[in-house]
Every structure is written in C-alpha cells, then in structure tokens.
Structure 1
Amino acid sequence: MKAFILSEWLQQYFFSSGDGPAYSRLYDLICRAILEGHLAAGARLPSSRGLAADLGIARNTVLQVYEQLTEEGYVHAGVGRGTYVEDISQDLLQPAASFRETPGTAEHKGPIGHDLSRRGRALLAHLGFSSRQAGAFMPGVPDVREFPLKTWSRIQNRLWREGPWDLMRYAPAGGYGPLRQTISDYLNSVRSVRSSAQQVIMTTGIHQGIDVAVRLLCDPGDSVWIEEPAYWGVRNLVATAGLRPVPIRVDDEGIWPREQDREHPPRLIVVAPSHQYPLGMVMSLARRRMLLDYAQQVSCWVLEDDYDSEFRYGSRPLPSLQGMDDAGRVLYAGSFSKTLCPGLRVGFLVVPEPLSLAFADAVAELYREGNMVHHAILNEFIRNGHLASHIRRVRRRYAERRDCLISEIHHHFGDRLDVVGGDAGLHLILALPDTVDDQVVVRDALREGVVTRPLSTYYLDRAHARSGLLLGYAGVTPDEIRPAFDTLAQVIGRYLQSMQTKGGRRDDTRRTGTQ
C-alpha cells in the first residue's frame, strides 16, 4: 500500500472509529493493517507531519504512535528516510495475539471490516479473551481442582432421583425463585447489600449483568465512566453497545474524577470499589460517599462490580457501595466464577426495586435463561453452609500461594521490583520499569510456557499506561509456582539487564498504575 493511499485509508477509518483517544485509535488502525497483511513488509508509512495534517491531530500524537510501533518491532525508522513496516512472520505474532488488544488471529482474516458491522469491528479490534485460561500465572481464575465435587454431586444426585421436571424448563423471569431469596439473604449477611429477592436478577455472570445494564439504562452515544485502568471486558461491552467509554484515573483511594470530568456527567459509572481491577486498591469511605452524592446529584447510575471481595488476606472488606446507597442509584453485580468455578456460569445483578421487573423481563427476553438444575443445587449448597465453608478453606489455600509467589519475587529481584495489589483477590501485579515493554515480556514468557497478562493493555489511554505483569496465583500450587517463576524471572531479567545497559533508571521500577 502506497503511503498516500495508506493516508487516505487511515482517514476513512480513523474518523469512523469512535470517540476514543486519537493515540489509541491511530495505533490500533496501523497495528490492524500490519497484522492483517494490508501493509506488507517494506511499506512506507506517511510522514508524521503529513498524517497529522490529514487527520487533524497533533504531530506529537503521530510521533508517539510511530515510536511505540518501532519499540514493539512493527516498524523501523531510517534517519531522514521515513518509517517502514518490518518483516514480521506470522509464527511470531500468533502467541502474542491472545494478549495484544489488536486483531490478527486466524479467525478474523480477510479485508478489514468485511461483512462486519461497526460494532463487530469495535469488538474484534480490542480482544482481551485468551485461548489459555489456566496455568501459571493466568490472573483471575480460581483453582477448579478445589471445587467441592463430592458435596455438589450428592445434592445433584438427590435432585435427579426426585425427578426435577420443573427445573428442566426455561427459568421464570428473574431466575429460580428460591435461589434469588437465598442470594438476597447471603449478600445482606456478608456484604451488607440491601435487597429483596425480587431485586436479585439471575445472570450467567458479571459480563451479562453489565451487558443488560447498558442496554436498559443507556442510549447510543451516552458516556460511561470506567476506571483507568479497568478490566478489558467492561470497556468492550460499553463500546460495542454504541456508548462512549470515558477513562477516569484511579489513585490509592479509588476512582477520582477531576473537575472537568464532573462537568460532563455520564449516564453510567462502572466501578469495582472493594478490589479495583487490576490494581487492587480499595475505594475509601470518603470516595464512596463522594461518588454516591455525585450520582444522586446528576441522576446517573452506578454499577458496582464486586467480582472477588471474598478473598481478602488479613483484613475485612468494607461494606458494599450498594449498602450505603439511599437514593437507589446503585446496581450490584456478582458471580460465583471466582468462589466456585467459572464453568458454572451463574451470576446475579441486584437492581433498585423500581427497575426489578424491567430487568427480570429483559433478561428473560434477551437470553432465555434456563440452567435451573444448577440453580437448585447452588441454592441448597449455600443454604446448608457449604459455600461459606468452601470460601474459608480456599481463602487459606490462596493466601499460602500468594505468600509463595511474593517470596519468589523477593528471592529473584529483592527490592528492585514492586509488588502491587497483593492484599486481596486472585492475582498481584509485578511492576516493571516503564522502559520495559510488558507486552513483549508476556509474549516471550508465553513461548517458555508461562502465561501472564500485560498491565499496559488495561489502559484505555495508552499514552499514560504503566508497565507491569498481572500474575495469578490462585490456580497454581506452590510446587507449580516456583519453577514457573524461575522461568519468568529469566525472561524479565533479560529486559532489566538490557535496560541497564542502555542507561535505564532504577527509579522507574517504583512507578505503579496510580497517579
């Protein structure tokens, strides 16, 4: 593709790629063109000055994109000769495709946008789902080997013997009634959530809860505040619904909208106050009150993602945001994917009472829920105290694994690298110097059989992204953690050594994702 043709192509897709940061949109478009073969090896990119003028953006933005592409090996620059596409073989790209938030996997070959809607293109342009869902150090997954199979099977076998014909039909609107009541009672006891059974809407997980919430509460073009950084699934659900995700920075107390942010109220705010993902901080009480007051003042909704609050090591979680809400502006989303297993696909959404019938009918209409046999089993499992017992047991197990991983980090790196967010949850972050490309480290580790995720890809505004690795420890035993981290440490060590050789500063390792 000639440089002038590429410039015209970028103009066409740049202006139809949404309202996100110009840096992210341009970076994603050029990456897509390279990964899908539309820009062949040796193709020359437009000059930074010319492309900036064509797109109506700052030249520094184009230069930053070109610099990142150069650092990642997509292009190379010759002094006074322009910027050219590198010869990147497909076998090198494939392992990284699971972690990069750009398309290019085999399933999406063909002309860009061919037969896909704008929503489809937006979804596939920022894939976060990985084909590897287990092993060291996949974050956010429990150890399914700890699932209480005997207890679960005993309840299930009894239900089958009794002939559960009513449980084999479609679920009523809102889900299996006895489980809705049990969840309401359980949340009131352990998370101070205030609700009736009618307000509990059964879902297949937090993803579905967010999906139905944005469908019912937001119109295309509405803005949605999401934490920066945030779980990739949230921003993808928001963007593909035709909404405008607005990244709001977090600090040590949680989400912190600036004055200019508050001057443009969103329709919805999505937060994880009990354990921010991925950085792990807990939203302070003062910040929670600020958020609730603001939501009431501007009449926006707040969706509380309480994905793994059960796993705190050494401290009790603060009460839920929903339990502090007197104005009825908070929806509370949870699931059993972390406490039991993700394959169960049982979650819930607690909505304000005036919305309960609408949400129950919408879930029934959109998703035709069933799975009541599992719901009936889970209902007895919780009622008989098995869930609380299981959580206590695996919490101790996961704490031991967290301690083992932190010990390995200190053994290999001493105080050279910081550990962030290790007080709760199923993962921690190993902060890297910002001069180290965490996506390249992830790619190289995967070649050695070690799975992790790069912190930088959780930022919507890549220009302010921090470098680091999300290391999940819940799903691996200490005997699995030690050799896997030995391998990962060797990969990281190569880049730290390279940084020191080039004159990198040790101070960079002290930077985390907060500002």
Structure 2
Amino acid sequence: MPSTRGLAQELGVSRITVALAYDQLASEGYMEARRGSGMYVCSTLPDDVLKVTKEDRSRKRLRPFLASDEGVEPRFEPRAHRPFQVGALDPELFPHATWSRLLARAWRNPVPALTGAPDSFGWRPLRNAIARHLAEWRDIDCDSAQIVVTSGTADALDIIGRCVFARGDTVLVEDPGYAPMRFGLEKNGIGVLPVRVDDEGFDLDAVGPRLKAKGAVLTPSRQFPLGATLTLTRRLKLLDWVARTGGYLIEDDFDSEYRYRGAPLPALMSLDRHERVIYLGSFSKILSPTLRIGFMVLPALFLDEVRAYLRLRGVAASLVAQPALAEFMLSGDLAVHIRRTRRLYAQRQEALVSSASVLDGLLEIVPSTAGMHLVADLVPRLRKQMTDRAATRLAAEAGVVVRPLADFFAGQPDRSALLLGFAGFGEDELRRSVRVLAETLRRGS
C-alpha cells in the first residue's frame, strides 16, 4: 500500500485522515503492517473467513441439551407464560405508561450523578425509597446507607459469600427450598446443610446442638415452596441462636407483600436487636422479573467491607431503571400497584380453588393466605401410579406447566406434590387449565 504521506498528497486530504483509515482497515483485518516495509493487504480477508458457504448451511444444528427422564426439558426459546407456571406475572398488569414516562423523565436530561461513576451501593434516591418502603410495609427501621441495590438473589449471595461468611463455613438451608440459594452459597465455597421444614417452617431443634453452623438462609414470611409462615417462637429462637454463636440469618423476603387475609408477622429483621440479620428483597415478584433489581439490608459492621469488595468486583445492578423505580416508589405508585395486584391475585386464587373439585381423587389443594402459588399434593392412589415428576411431564404434553415438588428437595423427596402458580393468569384461563390438568391426570392414571 502507498505510504500515508504519499496517499494523502495524491488524494488531497490530511495525512491524519489516511492514517486513521489505515488503522481502521487494519483493525478489521483487511491490512497488516510488516516491520520496515509498510502496510500490505492481508492474504486472508475477513469477508472470506466470515462468508457462509453451502456446506455451512447444510450442517445440522447442535442438538439441545435434554434433561433427564425424571426432569422437565428446559426451554431455551422465550415463549408465552402458560398456567400454572410458578413465578409468572401477568404482563397486562405492568404499569407500562407510567414506567415509560418515568424512564424518559430520568434520562431525557439526566442529572450529573447519573452520568458519572455510579455509587457501588446503588442510586441513593432509590435506597431512600426502599428504606421508607421497608419501614411502612415490613416494620424494618434501617438507614438507606445500609441498603445495597443488587441485580437479584445471585448477586446478593455472591456478596454475602465473600463478605459475611468464609470459605469452608457451614450454613443451614431449608429443605425443600430454593435451589439457586444452595448453588449460590456452594459456588463461594460455603457448605450447606439442608434442614427439613414442617408446617411451622424452619425447625432449629431438628439440627442438633453440636453443629457449628455459621448461620442460616430462610424464607420466614412464606417458606418457599411449601408456604408455611415461620412462627414467632421459632423466629425468636433463631435470633437467640445467632446472637449467642455470632452467626447470621439471611432473610429472603421474596413475596411478603402478597398476603390476602390477616396481618403478616413482622419481618425477622424487625425483631433483631443485635444486628445478626441480613435482609434480601426483590422487585421481581412485584413488577417484573426482567427488571433485575433487588436489594439487601446489611448490618453496619459489613458496610465498609462490602463497599471495598464492590469497588474491586464491579457493580452488577444496572443504573438505567433505578431512577424510574425510585420515583415510582416515592410517588406512591408502587403501593397502589401492590394493592391492586394483591386484590386480583386473591381473586385468581379463589378461581383456582373453587374450580378444583374436578381434581378430587387426584390432587389435594389447600387455599393459602399468602403467596402466588399453591401446593397440590398427589392423593395416595395417584402416588402409587406416578411420581410428581411424571405428572409434570403428562401436564406439559397437554400444554399445562406445573412444577414438581421433588425438584426443590436437596435430598430424597418425602412428599409428592405439584406447584400451581396462579398470579399470572386470568380467572377463565385458570378454570380451563384446571379441567385440562384433571383430564390429563385421569387418563394417565
């Protein structure tokens, strides 16, 4: 190729322009520099390398991973929610107009703090709004300085695994329970000891006095997936245990806003007088799982260590939605949204329960005072003929999505049941799907 000076003179342009063009061609793989002799056209051009040939088109795609026969085949392509998918939300209920307006307002003319280096703990107005929300809804008295905005449970567990517990520590977890919780702890070298829950939730007495566990991860407001509320007696016993041993309780309060009858027990953190509880919250169950915004409330002891860790690791939670969420909360719109969806979810649960008579002789469904799914136990006769995983496969073939309780046990399951999500589906759709599920299980049995 001509020298940059020669080509610039020939074309009547600046030498800098030619040099930039050469650099661009080199970075894209069209030219290469040879020491002492200038720039040359590459012998192999990127157009040839990236070109799709007929042979490439005829190649078969990789076969997707299939789960074991006892599991449910994972779905890689996004598809519409189907009853009774656990955790599904109704997209029609999302406040689209308000949300788009708040996003536009925040980013049309952003304040300098939004375009500079982000606070590793998250957008301060959002943390202020979360602190106020916790005081009003969960009776938690905390300072916004204690709140860390996260990208969800996995992010929070990474922080806890690095800054609260040490590699090799043992932590108690609920069984059955949320498998990503166990995974998040084990990924950071923390041992987990599953503890069987009963109708009153997590039972510390079932552990044994000699175990030197450093803490426990709990869902006290509504145990996931069984739905039990941890009794006040057991809450106080757990708080006394960590106060005596120097351990910590991780309170995952994932859907406490959705209680339909009676006053909820206060959050475990609100009863803590020794700063031994770390509180995890999320907006995934309230607004949308795609929002990817959660938060944690830390004891003051860990604030400096967590900030130092995040400074090195980097921030996982996107700042884009945080100003809009802060305004949504501070304006009272979030409270309105919760009350509205809580009323609808109660009606949807009632529709599911009232139509469940067609499942008599197959499943036993008990209404719940809280939450977004119900647990339906296989009756003894059906248990003799199929497992809950087998029932899940039959339902999937009929277009109904349920979750087998067996998937949530760390060890051998001792109960066979299906989880039926109701929050994300209309009443008529729920009634139709109950009939389909009943017909499918009767044929399969």
Shared fold per TM-score greater than 0.5:
yes
Q: Higher mean Cα deviation, 346-355 or 367-376?
A: 367-376
After superposition, residues 235-314 of structure 1 pair within 5 angstroms as 235-258=182-205, 260-314=207-261
Distance in structure 2 (CA, Å) of the matches to 1:195 and 1:221: 30
CA 1:416–1:92 in 2, change beyond 3 Å: closer, same or farther? farther
Report the CA distance between 1:192 and its aligned residue: 1.1
* 2:394 counterpart of 1:444: yes
Counterpart for residue 471 of structure 1 = 420
* Counterpart residue type for residue 479 of structure 1: D
Picking from 342, 358, 374, the partner of 1:428 is: 374
Report the CA distance between 1:292 and its aligned residue: 0.4
* Counterpart residue type for residue 413 of structure 1: L
**For 2:217, what is the secondary structure of its paired residue?**
strand
Residues 151 and 318 in structure 2, CA contact (< 8 A), matched pair in contact too = no
Residue by residue over 1:390-443, the C-alpha shift from the partner in whole angstroms, topping out at 9 and shown as x without a partner, is 000011111111111111212x03476322462211111111144330111111
Picking from 373, 391, 406, the partner of 1:456 is: 406
CA 1:364–1:388 in 2, change beyond 3 Å: closer, same or farther? farther
Residue by residue over 1:272-327, the C-alpha shift from the partner in whole angstroms, topping out at 9 and shown as x without a partner, is 00010000011111110001001111111100000000001112211100010011
CA 1:99–1:334 in 2, change beyond 3 Å: closer, same or farther? farther
Distance in structure 1 (CA, Å) of the matches to 2:267 and 2:139: 6
Structure 1: runs of 5 or more not aligned: 1-90, 107-128, 499-515
Picking from 107, 111, 118, the partner of 1:160 is: 107
* 2:183 counterpart of 1:233: no
**For 1:263, what is the secondary structure of its paired residue?**
coil
CA 1:367–1:452 in 2, change beyond 3 Å: closer, same or farther? farther
* 2:365 counterpart of 1:419: yes
* 2:96 counterpart of 1:149: yes
Distance in structure 1 (CA, Å) of the matches to 2:69 and 2:336: 35
Picking from 152, 156, 169, the partner of 1:205 is: 152
Report the CA distance between 1:487 and its aligned residue: 1.6
**For 2:100, what is the secondary structure of its paired residue?**
helix
* Counterpart residue type for residue 419 of structure 1: I
Normalised TM-score (structure 1): 0.69
* Counterpart residue type for residue 420 of structure 2: L
After superposition, residues 102-113 of structure 1 pair within 5 angstroms as none
Residues 170 and 214 in structure 2, CA contact (< 8 A), matched pair in contact too = yes
Normalised TM-score (structure 2): 0.79
Counterpart for residue 392 of structure 1 = 339
Counterpart for residue 353 of structure 2 = 406
Distance in structure 2 (CA, Å) of the matches to 1:450 and 1:92: 22
Residues 149 and 317 in structure 2, CA contact (< 8 A), matched pair in contact too = no
CA 1:477–1:240 in 2, change beyond 3 Å: closer, same or farther? same
Residue by residue over 1:101-124, the C-alpha shift from the partner in whole angstroms, topping out at 9 and shown as x without a partner, is 8xx979xxxxxxxxxxxxxxxxxx
Residues 182 and 192 in structure 2, CA contact (< 8 A), matched pair in contact too = yes
Distance in structure 2 (CA, Å) of the matches to 1:176 and 1:217: 23
Percentage of matched positions with identical amino acids: 35
- Looking at CA atoms only, which structure, 1 or 2, has the larger radius of gyration? 2
CA 1:133–1:247 in 2, change beyond 3 Å: closer, same or farther? farther
Residue by residue over 1:326-375, the C-alpha shift from the partner in whole angstroms, topping out at 9 and shown as x without a partner, is 11110000010011111111110001011122223323432424532311
Q: Higher mean Cα deviation, 130-139 or 441-450?
A: 130-139
Q: Higher mean Cα deviation, 319-328 or 132-141?
A: 132-141
After superposition, residues 500-515 of structure 1 pair within 5 angstroms as none
Picking from 484, 495, 505, the partner of 2:433 is: 484
Residues 98 and 131 in structure 1, CA contact (< 8 A), matched pair in contact too = no
* 2:71 counterpart of 1:100: yes
Residues 149 and 293 in structure 2, CA contact (< 8 A), matched pair in contact too = yes
Residues 150 and 317 in structure 2, CA contact (< 8 A), matched pair in contact too = no
* 2:281 counterpart of 1:334: yes
After superposition, residues 68-83 of structure 1 pair within 5 angstroms as none
Residues 195 and 206 in structure 2, CA contact (< 8 A), matched pair in contact too = no
* Counterpart residue type for residue 314 of structure 1: R
Distance in structure 1 (CA, Å) of the matches to 2:340 and 2:74: 40
Residues 420 and 431 in structure 1, CA contact (< 8 A), matched pair in contact too = no
**For 1:373, what is the secondary structure of its paired residue?**
coil
Report the CA distance between 1:472 and its aligned residue: 0.6
CA 1:210–1:226 in 2, change beyond 3 Å: closer, same or farther? same
